[in-house]
Amino acid sequence: MDAAEEELERRSKFLSNLIQKKKAIDEKQHVQNDGVNNVRVRASDMPIALQNKAFNCARENLDSMKGEKLDSKRLALALKKDFDASYGPAWHCIVGTSFGSYVTHSVGGFLYFSIDKVYILLFRTAVEPLEH
């Protein structure tokens, strides 16, 4: 094998390994998140523990609305308050069945998921003190 073929083989193995790791992570998240709660992660850079907290909070609030029309403002407020209290200020939450968004968020503070047929965007922004 010449150097070019060896490099191609090395890169192929590397990419194959990355794909397998990504599939394993996706399957793990799917098993942890989907089953009972009917959750589907659309996009995230949030740690799994925080994701699970968001899923549980959303599920509890949605269950408390059974038989009622979806109160998206109430659900968004509950998630925001829970995350502000647990992880510090500047969490934002958008809830609905149809919306568009484009946001800037802090690293590790972004989760876009659906639960049943409700879509939830939860994200954190940096808070900087005002200078006088």
Domain co-membership, 115 together with 85? yes
**Residue 53 located in a structural domain:** yes
Domain co-membership, 55 together with 4? no
| Residue type (1 letter), 101 | S
φ and ψ of 16, to 5 deg: -60, -45
Domain co-membership, 13 together with 50? no
pLDDT tens per residue, range 10-31: 888 887 777 777 777 766 555 4
The confidence score (pLDDT) of residue 42 equals 94
Domain co-membership, 28 together with 84? no
Q: Which domain holds residue 14?
A: 1-33
C-alpha 71/C-alpha 130 separation (Å) is 34
pLDDT top residue among 79 and 32: 79
- Asked if residue 53 has pLDDT above 70, the reply is yes
Question: What is the rounded average pLDDT for all residues in the chain?
Answer: 87
Please give the average per-residue pLDDT across 31-37, as a whole number: 52
CA-based nearest residue to 116, from 43, 36, 47? 36
The confidence score (pLDDT) of residue 28 equals 59
pLDDT tens per residue, range 90-130: 999 999 999 999 999 999 999 999 998 999 999 999 987 77
**Residue 81 located in a structural domain:** yes
Domain co-membership, 74 together with 25? no
Domain co-membership, 17 together with 44? no
Query: Which letter, b or e, does each residue of 8-38 get, where b requires 16 or more Cβ atoms within 10 Å of its Cβ?
Result: eeeeeeeeeeeeeeeeeeeeebeeebeeebe
- Asked if residue 41 has pLDDT above 70, the reply is yes
C-alpha 45/C-alpha 70 separation (Å) is 27
Domain co-membership, 51 together with 87? yes
Domain co-membership, 55 together with 27? no
Encoding tokens for residue 71?
């109160």
Query: Which letter, b or e, does each residue of 95-105 get, where b requires 16 or more Cβ atoms within 10 Å of its Cβ?
Result: beeeeeeeeeb
The confidence score (pLDDT) of residue 21 equals 73
Among 5-14, 52-61, 62-71, where is mean pLDDT lowest?
Answer: 5-14
The confidence score (pLDDT) of residue 95 equals 97
- The DSSP bridge partners found for residue 122 are 93, 111
**Residue 129 located in a structural domain:** no
**Residue 91 located in a structural domain:** yes
Domain co-membership, 57 together with 98? yes
Spatial strand order of the sheet with 110-115 comes to 39-44, 110-115, 118-124, 91-96
The CATH code of the domain that includes 59 is: 3.30.740.10
